[in-house]
Chains A and B, each alone.
Chain A
């Protein structure tokens, strides 16, 4: 007799008299407990596109009827409307196959955020004060149009700048067409964790100016050089899907995974073998592996083709990269380099992934080219289990996407008075927060006479604007997306609004179209569509003639079917277009050690800011679900922290939770110390994302922003910020910081608790 029954019998026999039970008395006891009686609500699932990160997963929005307090025509009232209740993955979408990451899940809170801007605003106080006054949409659009028309002078470039995040949709196309019609330069795209280096490297090695896609599901050996591909990098959901299959999806076959990095990331924690290499030496290590493969004749040098040719001395067998030499620079034992190289060559298909901090170095491009060459040597390019490039859907307008200046160049130009900017439009970019102080972005923007923002939130950049034209959330508007990576099918995601707007907002592309029509002339003609939806319909229609996810014949059928499915994707796996002739303008590179800002004696630590599992680059820090979701490695919530190796901490007299000061040559900050066994003793790491001055009630005045103390070091070939190339010094402040951990910082393994 087990405990439960014993207790029941003991209890029942003593209670039986009182209960006057019949039949089995224990049933009698709990007969009175209701099953949670439930009448499920009626839910509709509407397609959508996740815009929380650049990956572009397809979503389904669960919409149910509810009552919302909304403002309509200046009046607040209760309205019964369809409300988004939950975001789920679109099971048919080729990128995420029904899955969603934590950011995607938390996207619901963007729409319902209490600090969303609810109506158009005009600045009423001094710049940056955050004092605004409500205006009507007519006024707002008229205001913007009159500003832009006053700046038009025929024959001269329009002094209008447009600042956005990199857009993989037709908003981006619309913006470029708008700017072109205005006679203004292409939009300036900004994101902190920019992928310029990797795109450039892929162009040089493989002829694709694009982020890579990995067929992890079929890999037998994966070596990642600093790429947090299961957490924050590239297309996390699709990479998780492939990873899961690689590990346990194939009976009897479990791929090996090796991670090379100086601080154990969420991804690194999953590795069978975790290798600490000195920051910025990942390319050296890759060539060390290639050297072994070449010298032991495990693969022929020619196998690497164009990608090999990008590396100096490749055809000579990389004489400078013998394991012993590489070992000195990387800190990885020579014997280990040999073993890894042999394993990789033996376990085809094997693939190398490079990303993150490895590329944010002064030698970033060389590192990327080295990893690309290794992949090519292993025969993993566009082969099952290897690296692919997502084919782009045959939508003619997409080719019109242009490269613009960088924020650094824009601000440099404004400050040097060499770039005339009379009006600046900002959409979904926050460079004031996410750029090194050295760039003086705020100072530059303050010099622009007129700034308009389409933001939904007041953040560090949009608070400088004179006019705010708040956008709908991505559940309230037409959304589309052309994924750059994450699938081997060509994909064009699309969704109509999943719910009516909650507030008095308006979709950015529709506002641009309205402004264009008010401006009239060339601009009006260049943008003939009445709404963004019309533009999308026109853009998507050419897909009808290609084999893909819909078989509809008429334009109307096609359009409605694409909306129902959440987009169009090509049938089966499509080959990406043949490689373009590689750009020959650069000589074969020599992969050497990186340069760091700050002398090693005074600034003894490499400073590693990393993309946060909670907030990516900080653009998601306003969502309370993510603030309270513990970072899985540190288990910290609602704050920021500085990761220090316990030995280093002991040497510096720092204990868990102590407030420490980190200083570079360019500034300093304070945050509580987190002693982590998974970080190299000479590295100090810190998540990016907190330290907002303005970003709603949940993010403002919380933690510190590591970006602000970075040196303005760049990768010289691409001009990309080398955000991992700063050295710092660290000292305790003698105070305690606010470190909120879910998991007590413990080291015990649960293993002994299994099978107790």
Chain B
């Protein structure tokens, strides 16, 4: 990796914060309109009743819960990957962590909105929270939805801190470089950071603790989301494998989202020198691994059900293998296994374009996977007389489209105010490199204990 100068680094990374092209405004305008349309659709639903969706008896959950699980899954990109990479001191993580962590926070915010969007009486969502009401009413701690409420708020808090902590030195840098309103914005955000060794030490300690703590939280969040399904006796939901299956799926889709985000940032903000084919190759391999793990879970799940031949479960099984969901099922397999496997297992194809194509199909495939977990089971629950079918309405489609737009929009706005690559971490990496007797090839950089190195003064 060619090592750019510190000035070059500052210039490159800070460029998007100060220069805005008309294309940016256009994109924000389009995304904003889609988000507004989704908000309008939601308000329409609140006003008229959730009947404006396609939900019915007995398919009580549809697009909204699919989106919920999907976005919570996507959120695993960031914090989880970044924490793992930090804990293993993978040097190549440096340009990647910030944009990964941001995905987590935004995806979680969007995902967490869905349990509220899908409520029959969304204005009462706070009844799910254990606040001290004067009537002495507490939520039902037996309900996985309450576990969700806890898990998601914990994860959201944790990953926001996890994103925020390593941004403090960069905020300080911005504070020092900026003038006017920006200065006023970054001053409080930098929390009085001056780069004293004490501050560095505390930041380092906090990051280490957070990296350790956030991992089990991330795993538990998706496990608990899976328990929303696995706990009640619904055919093909009620499965012990759902915890690891969902976590694996989450990481799978999270990596895919990260790859797409990185490729987008690289192009949009001309970060070619920082986000290199090397990173995409690494993440591509990870994606391939997750694809195989995902396929393993699918086979394990479906084979055991087929072999067990329990009639209520078989009804759901056949509905996705030979019934109305066959095409969707095989398309999912195509997206999640065939495409990533054929692209990523061949080194020549594991390019930026290759990984982005694979990631795109994985994101699509994983959305479908969530849909196929939720809807076919509800359509074919036990008594055949009550079997039904589900078709989303324009309201659900609009809101779903709105969340994708919201994700992109949040990301774009974020990149206007926060350096999307951690400047100080990059510098630290460069310093280490400069201090070493001979240049270290990126691939062979040894893990080092950061605490033992000299800390750079902020902004220098």
Contact call B141/A753, Cβ cutoff below 8 A = no
Closest to A7 in B: B142
Q: For the complex formed, measure the closest distance between the CB of B331 and the CB atoms of chain A, giving whole angstroms.
A: 26
What are the residues of chain A within 8 A of B138 when measuring CB–CB? 15, 18-19, 29, 32
Contact call A753/B382, Cβ cutoff below 8 A = yes
Q: Mark B360-383, 1 if CB is under 8 A from A, else 0.
A: 000000000000000000000011
Q: For the complex formed, measure the closest distance between the CB of B56 and the CB atoms of chain A, giving whole angstroms.
A: 12
* B135 interface residue (CB < 8 Å to A): yes
Which of B85-93, B162-170, B384-392 has 4 or more CB atoms under 8 Å from chain A? Answer: B384-392
Instruction: Tell me the complex Cα distance, A543–B312, Å.
Output: 62
* Contact residues, A1-43 vs B (CB, 8 A): 7-8, 11-12, 14-15, 18-19, 29, 32
Q: CB within 8 A of A8: which of B135, B136, B142?
A: B142
Q: For the complex formed, measure the closest distance between the CB of A754 and the CB atoms of chain B, giving whole angstroms.
A: 11
- Number of residues on chain A facing chain B (CB within 8 A): 20
* B311 interface residue (CB < 8 Å to A): yes
Q: For the complex formed, measure the closest distance between the CB of A356 and the CB atoms of chain B, giving whole angstroms.
A: 27
Q: For the complex formed, measure the closest distance between the CB of B309 and the CB atoms of chain A, giving whole angstroms.
A: 12
Known A-B contacts A746-B387, A752-B311; the reply to A18 vs B142 at CB < 8 A is no
* Contact residues, A698-756 vs B (CB, 8 A): 742-744, 746, 748, 750, 752-753, 756
What are the residues of chain A within 8 A of B384 when measuring CB–CB? 744, 746, 748, 750
* Contact residues, B120-136 vs A (CB, 8 A): 130, 135-136
What are the residues of chain B within 8 A of A744 when measuring CB–CB? 384-388
Q: CB within 8 A of A746: which of B140, B141, B312, B385?
A: B385
Instruction: Tell me the complex Cα distance, A756–B235, Å.
Output: 13
Q: Mark B297-330, 1 if CB is under 8 A from A, else 0.
A: 0000000000000111000000000000000000
Instruction: Tell me the complex Cα distance, A12–B312, Å.
Output: 33
Instruction: Tell me the complex Cα distance, A746–B381, Å.
Output: 13
Instruction: Tell me the complex Cα distance, A753–B235, Å.
Output: 13
Known A-B contacts A746-B384, A746-B385, A748-B384; the reply to A29 vs B141 at CB < 8 A is yes
- Interchain Cβ contacts within 8 Å, total number: 44
Closest to A15 in B: B141
Contact call B136/A753, Cβ cutoff below 8 A = no
Instruction: Tell me the complex Cα distance, A752–B314, Å.
Output: 13
What are the residues of chain A within 8 A of B130 when measuring CB–CB? 15, 18
Known A-B contacts A11-B141, A29-B141; the reply to A753 vs B311 at CB < 8 A is yes
Instruction: Tell me the complex Cα distance, A14–B150, Å.
Output: 12
Contact call A12/B385, Cβ cutoff below 8 A = no
* Contact residues, A194-243 vs B (CB, 8 A): none
Q: CB within 8 A of A32: which of B136, B141, B142, B385?
A: B136
Closest to B150 in A: A14
Instruction: Tell me the complex Cα distance, A19–B140, Å.
Output: 12
Instruction: Tell me the complex Cα distance, A419–B162, Å.
Output: 97
Closest to B133 in A: A32
Q: For the complex formed, measure the closest distance between the CB of B424 and the CB atoms of chain A, giving whole angstroms.
A: 39
Contact call A32/B311, Cβ cutoff below 8 A = no
* B451 interface residue (CB < 8 Å to A): no
* B18 interface residue (CB < 8 Å to A): no
Q: For the complex formed, measure the closest distance between the CB of A674 and the CB atoms of chain B, giving whole angstroms.
A: 16
* Contact residues, A675-716 vs B (CB, 8 A): none
Instruction: Tell me the complex Cα distance, A756–B310, Å.
Output: 9
Instruction: Tell me the complex Cα distance, A748–B386, Å.
Output: 11
* B137 interface residue (CB < 8 Å to A): yes
What are the residues of chain A within 8 A of B388 when measuring CB–CB? 744
Instruction: Tell me the complex Cα distance, A8–B135, Å.
Output: 22
Instruction: Tell me the complex Cα distance, A753–B130, Å.
Output: 39
Q: CB within 8 A of B141: which of A14, A742, A750?
A: A14
Instruction: Tell me the complex Cα distance, A743–B385, Å.
Output: 5
Closest to B144 in A: A7
Closest to A16 in B: B141
What are the residues of chain A within 8 A of B387 when measuring CB–CB? 744, 746
Instruction: Tell me the complex Cα distance, A456–B56, Å.
Output: 37
Q: For the complex formed, measure the closest distance between the CB of A472 and the CB atoms of chain B, giving whole angstroms.
A: 37
Instruction: Tell me the complex Cα distance, A752–B310, Å.
Output: 10
A-B contact pairs, 29 of them (CB 8 A): A7-B142, A11-B141, A14-B141, A15-B138, A15-B141, A18-B130, A18-B138, A19-B138, A29-B138, A29-B140, A29-B141, A32-B137, A32-B138, A635-B385, A743-B385, A743-B386, A744-B385, A744-B386, A744-B387, A744-B388, A746-B384, A746-B385, A748-B384, A750-B383, A750-B384, A750-B385, A753-B311, A753-B383, A756-B312
Q: A18-B130, A18-B138, A743-B385 are in contact. List 14 more A-B contacts (CB 8 A).
A: A11-B142, A14-B141, A15-B138, A29-B138, A29-B140, A32-B135, A635-B385, A742-B385, A744-B387, A744-B388, A746-B387, A752-B311, A756-B310, A756-B312
Chain B interfacial positions (CB closer than 8 Å to A): 130, 135-138, 140-142, 310-312, 382-388
